[in-house]
A and B are shown apart, each in its own frame.
Chain A
Amino acid sequence: MPQTPLYIVASPHPRVGKTLLARLLLEFFHSEKRPLLGYDLNPREPTFAGYFPRWVFTVDIANTRGQMELFDQLIAENPASTVIDLGYGAFEQFFSVLGEIGFAAEARRRGVETTVLFISDRAPATVRAYGELRRRLPNVPFVPVHNESVSVSFDNDDFPPSRPEFRRISIPRLSPIVRGVVDRPSFSFGSYLVKPPSGPTEIHDWVATIFNSFRDLELRLMMGQVTSALGGVSLGPPPIPRR
């Protein structure tokens, strides 16, 4: 049985596109008509929850009650495809609790596969944080994300994925005007794609590229689960979906 995905969108730094990626993921789930859920771990500035007030809960994990509200719910029965927008302020505490309580193993046992989507940047501290996290959580898949609006180049050696086939997700740079439109609180990728103004636009191409990379990632994660279930026998890389 395929695992239900739980994506943790993370970076130790602000303003690298975490909320944008979290929005895109939730819209992707919505476009696929899946049960979905989101958590915004930025209690002081819950931007992600502001975009999706019906689907996204704001949680403060600085206290134990908030941690219970989050982690106990994540492994409850019939979980939905879930996205966590992990604010940089909660970064350390989140991964500390996650590791301490043995969350990923229990989630996997209950049919939830945790994946960290780590947004890269050029700061040496970010590179160190990535390596350190991977060491602390050896059984959690890490997929690097390159937001081209944040850094032009990406060094594979700095942000290697957990497995070679979990290749990085790239978020192409949008033109400033379009980015301004996308960042409006009322903007919905899903609604925009359903009702195109007149033919494809920059946003259409951009979203299609990103959604394709999500589909590709999910296929690869699923192949990884099948491979693990078969005792490590690789079935080879999956085909890249075409649209």
Chain B
Amino acid sequence: MAKPTIIVVGADKGGVGKTTVSRTLLDYFTAHQVPTRAFDSEAPKGTLKRFHPDVTDVVDVTSIPDQMRIFDTLSDASVTVIDVRAGLLSPTLRALRDIGFLDAVKKGQFTFLVFHILGSSIASLNEIEDTSQFTTDAKYFLVKNYFNNTTFFEWDQATHANYFKKLKDAVEITIPKLNEMAYEQVEVASVPFLTFVANKGPKGDSANYSFVLRGYVRHWLGNVWAEYDRIKLNDIIAATPANPRVQVVR
């Protein structure tokens, strides 16, 4: 059996699309039939939980009882996705080190992935330096998220290159922009992207979403998943022997 995988999705800045990326990951694993659970640290209600209520619990990752809830039960699912609230990425990684989780990763007991969502500001580059000290034994992904029209204009090429060359093993992922109205409609529907594409409501009932907007979401999700296929995400979690390409169903 594959060893448990923990994916931390975070950034120290808010509004960069952490939850959006977490949602695409949960959809990806659903499509690949990988048993997955998620933790949402946006207490008390949780944004991720609104879209994926069946697999998501709201937690405070800095509290010991909630750390026990997450890390003492890692073998309950193949993949655990933790959507870390803005500003808590570095404290969370520090907590993981303190409880010995990073040592366990080093010993090969767990697969550990960090999806670091970057903002457009130079502060994001500084975050990389802070974060990278905890990701020596992790698969570290730097996610440029264009979904909300972010332009990474503030990044001087030389500065950017200087930061990135320090991180030989970090891999960049690009999340393309999604049509604003399509994004808004999925928000209103409060369903996973995959459910929206399938024209279903929150309880699996038939819905009446615009075909155009569903088409935009399907196309976008396909592009996001192509990025996950490119980094061989399915192989990394070793949940299935091969890496079958899964089409986004209509």
Please tell me if the beta carbons of A103 and B215 are within 8 angstroms of each other in the complex: yes
User: Quick one: which of B179, B181, B210, B250 contacts A102, CB cutoff 8 A?
Assistant: B250
| B residues in contact with A101, CB < 8 Å | 211-212, 214-216, 218-219
Instruction: Encode A180-200 as 1/0 by CB contact (under 8 A) with B.
Output: 000000000000000000000
Q: Does A67 contact B (CB under 8 A)?
A: yes
Q: How large is the interface on A (under 10, 10 to 19, 20 to 34, 35 or more residues)?
A: 10 to 19
Per the 8 Å Cβ criterion, residues 190-236 of B in contact with A are 210-216, 218-219
Q: Does B180 contact A (CB under 8 A)?
A: yes
Per the 8 Å Cβ criterion, residues 10-32 of A in contact with B are none
| A residues in contact with B250, CB < 8 Å | 102, 106
Chain B contact residue count (CB 8 A cutoff):
14
| B residues in contact with A45, CB < 8 Å | none
The residue of chain B having its C-beta at the shortest distance from the C-beta of A74 within the complex is: B211
| B residues in contact with A71, CB < 8 Å | 211-212, 215
Q: Does A72 contact B (CB under 8 A)?
A: yes
| B residues in contact with A72, CB < 8 Å | 210-212
Please tell me if the beta carbons of A100 and B181 are within 8 angstroms of each other in the complex: no
Give me 19 A-to-B residue pairs in the complex whose CB atoms sit less than 8 angstroms apart, sorted by A's number.
Answer: A64-B180, A64-B181, A67-B212, A68-B210, A68-B212, A68-B213, A71-B215, A72-B210, A75-B211, A97-B212, A100-B216, A101-B214, A101-B215, A101-B216, A101-B218, A102-B215, A102-B218, A103-B215, A106-B250
| A residues in contact with B179, CB < 8 Å | 64
Q: Does A135 contact B (CB under 8 A)?
A: no
- 3 A-B pairs closest in CB distance: A101-B215, A64-B181, A68-B212
| B residues in contact with A75, CB < 8 Å | 211
| A residues in contact with B212, CB < 8 Å | 64, 67-68, 71-72, 97, 101
* Cα(A101)–Cα(B216), bound, Å: 6
* Cα(A68)–Cα(B212), bound, Å: 6
Please tell me if the beta carbons of B219 and A100 are within 8 angstroms of each other in the complex: yes
* Cα(A71)–Cα(B182), bound, Å: 14
| A residues in contact with B213, CB < 8 Å | 64, 68
Please tell me if the beta carbons of B210 and A100 are within 8 angstroms of each other in the complex: no
Counting chain A CB atoms within 10 Å of each CB, which of B212, B216, B219 scores highest?
B212
Please tell me if the beta carbons of B181 and A106 are within 8 angstroms of each other in the complex: no
* Cα(A72)–Cα(B218), bound, Å: 16
* Cα(A71)–Cα(B216), bound, Å: 12
Please tell me if the beta carbons of B216 and A106 are within 8 angstroms of each other in the complex: no
A229 to chain B, nearest CB (A): 21
The residue of chain A having its C-beta at the shortest distance from the C-beta of B213 within the complex is: A68
| B residues in contact with A102, CB < 8 Å | 215, 218-219, 250
Per the 8 Å Cβ criterion, residues 126-183 of B in contact with A are 179-182
* Cα(A61)–Cα(B105), bound, Å: 52
* Cα(A102)–Cα(B219), bound, Å: 8
Q: Does A54 contact B (CB under 8 A)?
A: no
| B residues in contact with A65, CB < 8 Å | 181
B180 to chain A, nearest CB (A): 7
A205 to chain B, nearest CB (A): 42
| A residues in contact with B181, CB < 8 Å | 64-65, 68
| B residues in contact with A100, CB < 8 Å | 215-216, 219
* Cα(A71)–Cα(B179), bound, Å: 16
* Cα(A102)–Cα(B212), bound, Å: 9
- Not counting A75-B211, A101-B215, a sample of 10 additional A-B residue pairs whose C-beta atoms are within 8 angstroms of each other reads A64-B212, A64-B213, A65-B181, A71-B215, A72-B210, A100-B215, A101-B212, A101-B216, A101-B218, A103-B215
B248 to chain A, nearest CB (A): 10
The residue of chain B having its C-beta at the shortest distance from the C-beta of A67 within the complex is: B212
* Cα(A97)–Cα(B218), bound, Å: 12
B179 to chain A, nearest CB (A): 6
A66 to chain B, nearest CB (A): 10
